[in-house]
Every structure is written in C-alpha cells, then in structure tokens.
C-alpha cells in the first residue's frame, strides 16, 4: 500500500495540460532526495512524425542519429533563407 504522503493530486491547470499534450509527448521532472528540477518536454515520435511536425515551422532535420534499437536522436536546425 502506498502511504498518503506519496500521493500527488494535480490541479485543474495541470489536468488540462495533460489532456492537451500531443501523442508521444511527455513532461518529466528529475527528482533526487529533497531536490527537484524543472519540468521539461520530451517528445517520442517516429522519424516520419518528426518530419511532419516540423513542416512549415521554419525548422528542419539536419541529421538523424540511429541506435541499435528503435530510438534515435534528431539534430534539428533553423532554416536559413
């Protein structure tokens, strides 16, 4: 059983943000003992979805760095006219 002090209730604004988040978008926060970092956005999408997301934004994929499994890193850069 989880103790009550470990339960965390979210407010209405946090619930709205949770519902509006895109598929594959996470918002983690690193904690270590009594220290907690800032929340940050983390996006997990396929390469094709990444290309689609960037269309018309002024950003482009410079390089995909593959790994041995399904994960990859995308290097993106601002489009310079």
Domain borders along the chain are 10-44, 45-81
Instruction: Enter the pTM of the model.
Output: 0.56
* pLDDT score of 1 more than 50: no
- 19-76 pLDDT tens trace: 556 677 778 889 999 999 998 888 888 899 889 888 888 999 999 999 898 889 899 8
Rounded to whole angstroms, the Cα distance separating 32 from 12 reads 26
pLDDT of residue 26: 78
Provide the token pair at 65: 């760095």
Q: What kind and span of H or E run contains 65? A: strand 59-66
CA–CA distances in Å: residue 29 to residues 32, 63, 72: 10, 27, 21
pLDDT of residue 75: 92
Rounded to whole angstroms, the Cα distance separating 35 from 41 reads 19
pLDDT of residue 55: 87
């Amino acid at each position: 059983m989880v103790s009550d002090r470990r339960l965390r209730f979210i407010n209405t604004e946090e619930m709205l943000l949770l519902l509006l988040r895109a598929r594959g978008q996470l918002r983690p926060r690193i904690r270590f003992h009594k220290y907690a970092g800032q929340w940050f956005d983390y996006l997990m999408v396929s390469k094709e979805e990444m290309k689609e997301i960037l269309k018309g934004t002024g950003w482009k994929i410079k390089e995909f760095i593959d790994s041995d499994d399904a994960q990859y890193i995308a290097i993106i850069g601002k489009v310079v006219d």
